[in-house]
Amino acid sequence: MANLSVLIVDDDRDIADTLAYIVKRSGYDVTVAYDGESAVAHATESEFDIAFIDIMLPGMDGAENLAQIRQLNPDVQAYMMTGYSARESKAKAIDAGAIDILCKPVMPEDILGKLSKADKGTILIADDDPVFAELVSTTLHTAGWNVRTAETGLQAVDIVSHGGITAMVLDYSMPILSGTEVCRELTRRGIDLPIIVATSDENSRGLFEHLNIDGFLRKPVDPRAVLEFVERQSLAA
């Protein structure tokens, strides 16, 4: 495994230094910042593969901090850390571009588990069917992938535009922006990533002929077929 570059941002120096010690002993390169401004300064000088950022930072909060870091390093995989209610914090963290949140006290196995998945990458499941999204997410998580979800086409475009997405599984019939509109908008923005379309409408294939699509899956989809697609794309990269 290539060394991952890890950024830990927390104003509690004991927590930050303890996590850094554990991560460094596990063979990763680690940088520590105790406030958002210092974290941005580090991101100006270095690129990070993964970041763990406290939501409640003095001055610049964690969400603003992540937004600035992403401007410098769009592909960073980020997790927010919080001692507050996960329900209250999750929306803010996801809106900022975080993959997920970690509830404090953060255990070493939580951090190391996320690091072990970081080498593979993050898959976006863009589908407004929560059952389908949950089934596919569980299958990919079990195989060691990070997963994000989007319930509308507009949300999918926003998440991909923030960076850090390895591949996308895209429903043809999405609210706000359809699957074809998502693909066109990503092309307009100059974003290219592996996309597989999941659809129950065979007639929709023709709509994607001139778009950058890597494959189709007919619903109902076996989650293992999605995993096979993702793994093939990973080997081809």
- Give the tens place of pLDDT for each residue, 185-236: 999 999 988 999 988 777 776 677 677 788 888 888 888 888 888 888 765 5
- How many residues does the structure list for the chain? 237
Classify domain 122-236 at the CATH superfamily level. Answer: Response regulator (3.40.50.2300)
With 0-12 CB in 10 A as exposed, 13-18 as middle and 19+ as buried, what is 179? buried
Q: What is the mean pLDDT of residues 2-27?
A: 89
**3-state SS track over the chain:** CCCCEEEEECCCHHHHHHHHHHHHHCCCEEEEECCHHHHHHHHHHCCCCEEEEECCCCCCCHHHHHHHHHHHCCCCEEEEEECCCHHHHHHHHHHCCCCEEEECCCCHHHHHHHHHHHCCCEEEEECCCHHHHHHHHHHHHHCCCEEEEECCHHHHHHHHHHCCCCEEEEECCCCCCCHHHHHHHHHHCCCCCCEEEEECCHHHHHHHCCCCCCEEEECCCCHHHHHHHHHHHHHHC
Which residue type occupies 227?
L
Question: Model confidence over 28-53: pLDDT tens digits?
Answer: 899 999 999 999 999 999 989 899 99
Answer yes or no: is pLDDT of 108 > 90: no
Residue 49: predicted pLDDT: 87
129 vs 170, 175, 233, CA distance in Å?
A: 11, 11, 24
Answer yes or no: is pLDDT of 1 > 50: no
Instruction: Name the CA dihedral angle for 168, 172, 174, 178, rounded to a multiple of 10 degrees.
Output: 100
Answer yes or no: is pLDDT of 119 > 50: yes
Which residue type occupies 11?
D
Task: Tell me the C-alpha distance between 132 and 47, whole Å.
Answer: 35
CB 8 within 8 A of CB 19: yes
Q: What is the mean pLDDT of residues 61-85?
A: 85
Top-level class of domain 5-118: alpha beta
Which residue type occupies 66?
L
Give residue for tokens 């080498």. 119
Answer yes or no: is pLDDT of 237 > 60: no
In the chain, list all ranges with CATH 3.40.50.2300: 5-118, 122-236
CB 162 within 8 A of CB 74: yes
Strand ranges of the sheet holding 100-103, from the earlier edge strand across to the other edge: 29-33, 5-9, 50-54, 77-82, 100-103
Task: Tell me the C-alpha distance between 55 and 60, whole Å.
Answer: 10
Q: What is the mean pLDDT of residues 116-143?
A: 85
Question: Model confidence over 131-186: pLDDT tens digits?
Answer: 999 999 889 888 878 888 999 999 999 989 887 788 999 998 899 999 999 999 99
